[in-house]
Amino acid sequence: MPEIEKRRAGLDADLPLWIILDEFNEDVIGRSFYLEPEPPLGRFSRAFFPPLLKKFIARRESIRGVKRCD
């Protein structure tokens, strides 16, 4: 992951980080236990995120969902 994107996302720029697209969370918003931090930690740039999304969509049939709530 590029250092500038780590900083934008509020992550530790000194750590080696990467994004793995082999599973995704299945979460029902109305029953979710996940709460977003206030304020948000950060976000990826508009230039960085769309290629990730395209790769995720292309692989969605071969990756598995992980249920995070019942």
Residues 23, 61: Cα–Cα separation, whole Å? 10
Q: Which sequence spans correspond to the domains of the chain?
A: 3-67
Q: Which two tokens stand for residue 48?
A: 């960085």
Nearest of 14, 5, 6, 11 to residue 48 by alpha carbon: 5
pTM: 0.64
Give pLDDT, residue 14: 93
Tens-binned pLDDT, residue by residue, of the chain (70 aa): 899 999 999 999 999 999 888 888 777 777 777 666 677 788 899 999 899 999 989 988 888 887 766 6
